Amino acid sequence: MFKSKIKALLLSSRHKKITKPYPFVPVTPPENLRGRLEVDSNKCIGCGSCVRICPSRLITIEDYEDVRIVKFSAGRCIYCGRCANVCPAKAIRITNEYELATDNKKDLEIVIKIKMVKCLICGKPFISLNMLNKQIDRFQDKSEEQINKLKICPECKQKQLIKE
């Protein structure tokens, strides 16, 4: 057993080094490398598609009064890229940055605050401002009546339909 280890040592010492001196010589990552998440807070509509598709459950959405908070805990990310593929607003992007070592866990968190729109009838927040603006942009005729219909929550719309 001892002789086999010496033999392996002698055989391996004949060859050149196969490792790269990484920290001292920069390495360019391949183009298709999936690295750090990048989230554009101006594009995010707070729909929650990324939350439902994430296998490691690193994305959470919490609603407070008139603000929706979307948190990305990149320390749990497995770099699958599903969140970027499913995002309808293309707010999530996978970069090829791979050096994520840090001694502070907060450095790996991304927090986005999205303003919510309150229902005109009941006053409870139900849709993000970014999502509302996206829906308004789809209208050809942007009348005040159509815009106000979008600012009514589904429950109040249902109650209005029952009354009619």
**Which segments within the chain are labelled E, that is strand?**
37-39, 59-64, 67-73, 92-94, 109-118, 125-128
pLDDT in tens, 116-130: 999 999 989 988 898
For the chain, the residue count is 164
Its pTM stands at: 0.75
pLDDT of residue 162: 85
Mean pLDDT on 29-36: 86
Domains of the chain in start order, with CATH, are 30-163 (3.30.70.20)
Residue 92 pLDDT grade (very low, low, confident, very high; cuts 50, 70, 90): very high
How many beta carbons lie within 10 A of that of residue 89, not counting itself? 16
**Cα(20)–Cα(29) distance, rounded to whole angstroms?**
14
Residue 161 pLDDT grade (very low, low, confident, very high; cuts 50, 70, 90): confident
Query: Among residues 140, 112, 104, which one has the least CA distance to residue 37?
Result: 112
- Res 82 pLDDT > 90: yes
- Res 46 pLDDT > 80: yes
Q: How many helices (H) and strands (E) does the chain have?
A: 6, 6
**Cα(38)–Cα(2) distance, rounded to whole angstroms?**
52
pLDDT of residue 6: 78
Mean pLDDT on 53-60: 93
